[in-house]
Amino acid sequence: MKHEERISAALTGLHDAMVIKSGHIEGRIENIERISGVGISSTSLGESILKSGALDGFKEQKHANAVIEVSQHQIKTAIIGSTGIDDPLTNSMRPGIATGPRRRLFIRDLLSVDPTTDGIIKYPIEDSFTNTAASQNGQNTALTESGFTFSLSSEICQTIGHYIHTSKQVLDDSAVLTNFLSNRLLYGLRLVEENQLLNGTGASGQLNGILGQATAYTVQSPQLSNEIDIIADAMLQGETTDYMPNAIVLNPTDWHSIKTRKAGASNDAYAGGDPVSVKDNTLWGLPVVSTNSIAAGTFLVGDFTKGAAIFDREQPSIEFSKMHNTNFRDGMVTILASERTVLVVTNPAALITGSL
């Protein structure tokens, strides 16, 4: 009997030790999942921002500022909550803020994008190439000499950003603010960036946009009947300089006109089939980027991979600060979204713009 009691006591002790050990293992697994993100439900960008460690310290008043970088906006009044039951920001029954329309942003995706640690991008441009390559006229005879000329150009990384004011209380209490941060502040950056990638003047801190540096379209063929022919002619202009156009940028109004003008118009059909593919969103075999960032009546066609490049100095980031102006006194927080980037047009002849 004593032997059985000793076995029972040993088993009980083993069970208790296993329970304790299991608890330790479970805790370690939870810690690993927390660090790696495995097993944790996905959250929105705004939720990640508000739940980040940097923001936790900020909200607990351990730090006066917080900076959160994000990988790949316009409100002019302070965001504050009210004490009423119908507060649109802090009422937990509301699923989120009903935002306005969002423009599809494509231009960045057409270009090569690289990080940089420099505030100024300097790049050499081949101005001319004198090619005298020829067959050698017999042994021990001189070959001909070719030549190049270069020039050095540079572009400054520009800062794009904006900010809003919010009360500390609504930042702490409002769940809908997380969606606002993720869906509007960063979208606002990219919207302005896209516009400047095409239309920027290079002055007053703007990017030096593509349209201002692209080569002007000149008629290559004597007879042109419509927009489709003009774009084909611009493609030919690029091809005659040994660039291969890979995309077309049009305003939605112009693209709609092109897509519908051939429907049922048998007397205006092209030999070999219609060059417009509505299903594939292509024209003459090239993808069409339809965006309001380019003015109606203007087109851009070209070899975008060789024509221009983007260099990102600082990825988009969101900063929180209580120290701006009277924030500390008033219990307010300033939220700033910004990025630093630069556009470099390396081969203007690869990009052709004109009017339809």
Listing DSSP states for 94-151 in one string gives -------------HHHHSEEEE-S-SEEEEEEEEEEE-------STT-PPPPPEEEEE
Query: What is the model's pLDDT at position 356?
Result: 92
Q: 61 pLDDT exceeds 90?
A: no
> Between 351 and 61, whose confidence is greater?
351
Q: What is the CATH number of the domain that holds 110?
A: 3.30.2400.10
| Residue 180 included in any domain | yes
Give, in order, the Cα–Cα distances in Å from 240 to each of 10, 178, 245.
89, 51, 11
Query: What is the model's pLDDT at position 145?
Result: 86
Please say whether the beta carbons of 73 and 190 come within 8 A.
Answer: no
CA angle 70, 72, 76 (to 5 degrees): 70
Q: 234 pLDDT exceeds 80?
A: yes
Query: What is the model's pLDDT at position 196?
Result: 96
Q: Is 314 helix (H, G, I), strand (E, B) or coil?
A: strand
The backbone region for 59, taken as left when phi is positive above 0, alpha when psi lies in -120 to 50, beta otherwise, is alpha
Please say whether the beta carbons of 313 and 147 come within 8 A.
Answer: no
pLDDT in tens, 163-209: 988 888 877 777 677 567 667 888 899 999 999 999 999 999 999 99
Q: 307 pLDDT exceeds 90?
A: yes
Query: What is the model's pLDDT at position 205?
Result: 93
Query: What is the model's pLDDT at position 350?
Result: 95
Query: What is the model's pLDDT at position 70?
Result: 64
CA angle 88, 94, 96 (to 5 degrees): 85
Domain that holds residue 317: 73-131+144-262+275-356
Query: What is the model's pLDDT at position 153?
Result: 78
Q: What is the pTM of this model?
A: 0.71
| Residue 156 included in any domain | yes
Q: Is the dihedral of CA 83, 87, 90, 92 positive or negative?
A: positive
| Residue 46 included in any domain | no
Range 253-267 average pLDDT: 76
Using N-to-C axis directions, what is the helix angle for 252-261 and 227-240, rounded to 10°? 110
Tracing tokens 């419509």 back to the chain, one arrives at 226
| Residue 209 included in any domain | yes
- Residue 160 binned pLDDT confidence (cut-offs 50, 70, 90): very high
pLDDT above 70 covers a percentage of the chain that reads 68
Range 46-61 average pLDDT: 62
Buried b (16+ CB within 10 A) or exposed e, 94-122: eeeeeeeeeeebbbbebbeeeebeeeebe
Tracing tokens 């150009």 back to the chain, one arrives at 153
| Residue 127 included in any domain | yes
Query: What is the model's pLDDT at position 167?
Result: 86
Query: What is the model's pLDDT at position 262?
Result: 60
Query: What is the model's pLDDT at position 242?
Result: 92
Give the span between the Cα atoms of 151 and 85, in whole angstroms.
Answer: 66
Q: 72 pLDDT exceeds 70?
A: no
Domains contained in the chain, number:
1
Query: What is the model's pLDDT at position 28?
Result: 53
* Pairing relationship of beta strands 247-250 and 286-290 according to DSSP bridges: parallel
Query: What is the model's pLDDT at position 38?
Result: 46
Give the span between the Cα atoms of 354 and 356, in whole angstroms.
Answer: 7
- Amino acid identity of residue 116, one-letter, is T
Range 108-112 average pLDDT: 93
| Residue 284 included in any domain | yes
Query: What is the model's pLDDT at position 109?
Result: 92
- Residue 148 binned pLDDT confidence (cut-offs 50, 70, 90): confident
Range 72-83 average pLDDT: 48
Please say whether the beta carbons of 79 and 167 come within 8 A.
Answer: yes
Q: Which residues, 6 or more positions from 248, have their beta carbon under 8 angstroms from its beta carbon?
A: 231, 283, 284, 286, 287, 288, 289, 299, 300, 301
Range 112-130 average pLDDT: 85
Average pLDDT, the chain: 79
Please say whether the beta carbons of 131 and 146 come within 8 A.
Answer: yes
Q: Is 152 helix (H, G, I), strand (E, B) or coil?
A: strand
Query: What is the model's pLDDT at position 76?
Result: 46
Give, in order, the Cα–Cα distances in Å from 221 to each of 11, 157, 236, 268.
94, 40, 9, 18
| Residue 173 included in any domain | yes
> Between 78 and 335, whose confidence is greater?
335
Query: What is the model's pLDDT at position 287?
Result: 94
| Residue 222 included in any domain | yes
pLDDT in tens, 7-53: 666 556 655 656 555 555 555 555 444 444 444 445 555 556 655 66
Please say whether the beta carbons of 105 and 129 come within 8 A.
Answer: no
Give the span between the Cα atoms of 146 and 132, in whole angstroms.
Answer: 5
Q: 252 pLDDT exceeds 90?
A: yes
Q: Is the dihedral of CA 114, 352, 159, 183 positive or negative?
A: negative
Q: Which residues, 6 or more positions from 112, have their beta carbon under 8 angstroms from its beta carbon?
A: 305, 309, 310
